[in-house]
Structure 1
């Protein structure tokens, strides 16, 4: 069993010092990871970077980075940067969030969450693998953009930096049975919420 500490949503201005102390104590006790969250207040990556700068061995993860808030390319760039800065300690937790935040805050259509998540993760992995320039034409993401208003100047690109790890672990936040099934299929880990391990069989038949 591996233990992690989740800092959730908090006032990072007032609680930053205490959070650093907790992260350092978790590292001393042998915890595996520390995680930060975001909704529609502070973002999850900025405080995570601060915690990473004040620890040496503790893995740091996003729980979660909201997919509607960032293009897949921006997420891959952020993941590659943090993994380089932390010496390979970054864990990429992704989630779609809910319709209220997706449409009410980010102004994006909620759409088809399963198909959108599958495409998103595929693009992120392709970028980090750095095997070829990125080209993806799916139902939800069109890269390079080929819409009727495209200039035609966008060409496939390859991430400039060489990621420390092409296989940065990707975790997916999932609740419903189909979402959990997708996480098991395409992700390296699962970020559940409102979950009791004692009810696993009742909820998911596992």
Structure 2
């Protein structure tokens, strides 16, 4: 199983991402992932980093479909691959119903259908094929101009079994968020593997896992609230957590925090304890874990988040805090 890093800040200036891109360059981390940003566009940030010479593999997990057409999404993902010289994982999801309504005027009546069409179109385009889809939500008859480029994998954000099955059918990656290893092993990964897949390569699973190293002066309730509070209040996340056996009130109180931590949806402990819990994801069949230190960055600052990441990724030899700008 590979480890990657989630950019734990929402930059207002691109320089704020350099520290974490350096961690990818100088540690065992595979890739720098970004969530959806509504401040500084994630694709623009990736190409800015490439422009100053910081070229690392990028992942986007997940970009929200209402923001861009599938053609534009394919163009942007391949642009990042060309700019960085590395492979890209481009993950997509429909987003919350309220977000769909705000941008589209109404939500997708069939979000699984919309996701199928979107992923199918993007995957055809980034593969150099003609995208010929007349869909209920997206219709495209086009192709990207042919250029040699590093590969772009297309992913779908997965919270529940039906989307897991869809990812297993049409996507290169299934990208999970806040789902404990046990639920992945027992429910989501079997749904992916049981899908009627026609693609040659099996679907791979990327799990984005919120975590923090236990240190003096840290409050786990505050860390979980900072990292996951908005998700715990969202109806689709509450439903997904219930399916994983975690019932939360959505208030972000200490009881919700305890349930999330006890279930292994948020990892908190010593570096050794965190590694033990991460091993459960490998045993579940996860191919890549993305270390998410957003809670630490928001409550204790970006350098504290980078220190946690550096310790967890300590398998890289000869890497010091000075190498990645932490001194």
TM-score (norm 2): 0.52
- How has the CA–CA distance of structure 1 residues 120 and 102 changed in structure 2, closer, same or farther, with 3 Å as cutoff? same
**Aligned position for 2:119:** 121
Among 165, 174, 180, the residue aligned to 1:181? 165
2:54 maps to 1:55:
yes
Question: What SS does structure 2 have at the residue aligned with 1:93?
Answer: strand
Q: Which has the higher contact order (CA 8 A, sep 6+)?
A: 2
**Aligned position for 1:79:** 77
Question: What SS does structure 1 have at the residue aligned with 2:177?
Answer: coil
**Aligned position for 2:10:** 10
**Aligned position for 2:277:** none
Would the aligned equivalents of 2:98 and 2:107 in 1 still touch at CA under 8 Å? no
Show structure 2 runs of 5+ residues with no match.
Answer: 191-327
2:166 maps to 1:169:
no
Distance 1:47 1:86 in 2: 11
Cα RMSD (Å) of the superposition?
A: 2.4
Would the aligned equivalents of 2:119 and 2:156 in 1 still touch at CA under 8 Å? no
Would the aligned equivalents of 2:108 and 2:114 in 1 still touch at CA under 8 Å? no
Among 22, 25, 42, the residue aligned to 2:23? 25
Question: What SS does structure 2 have at the residue aligned with 1:35?
Answer: strand
Would the aligned equivalents of 1:61 and 1:92 in 2 still touch at CA under 8 Å? yes
With 92-101 and 44-53 compared, the bigger mean Cα shift is at 44-53
Distance 2:174 2:60 in 1: 12
Q: Deviations over 1:73-104 (max 9, x none)?
A: 11111122111111133221111111111112
Distance 1:199 1:160 in 2: 41
**Aligned position for 2:107:** 109
Show structure 1 runs of 5+ residues with no match.
Answer: 144-155
Structure with the bigger percentage of helix: 2
Structure ID, larger Rg: 2
**Aligned position for 1:192:** 176
- How has the CA–CA distance of structure 1 residues 35 and 160 changed in structure 2, closer, same or farther, with 3 Å as cutoff? same
Distance 1:185 1:141 in 2: 18
- How has the CA–CA distance of structure 1 residues 139 and 90 changed in structure 2, closer, same or farther, with 3 Å as cutoff? same
Would the aligned equivalents of 2:11 and 2:17 in 1 still touch at CA under 8 Å? no
Q: Deviations over 1:159-198 (max 9, x none)?
A: 2342514x52112111011001111221111211111113
TM-score (norm 1): 0.79
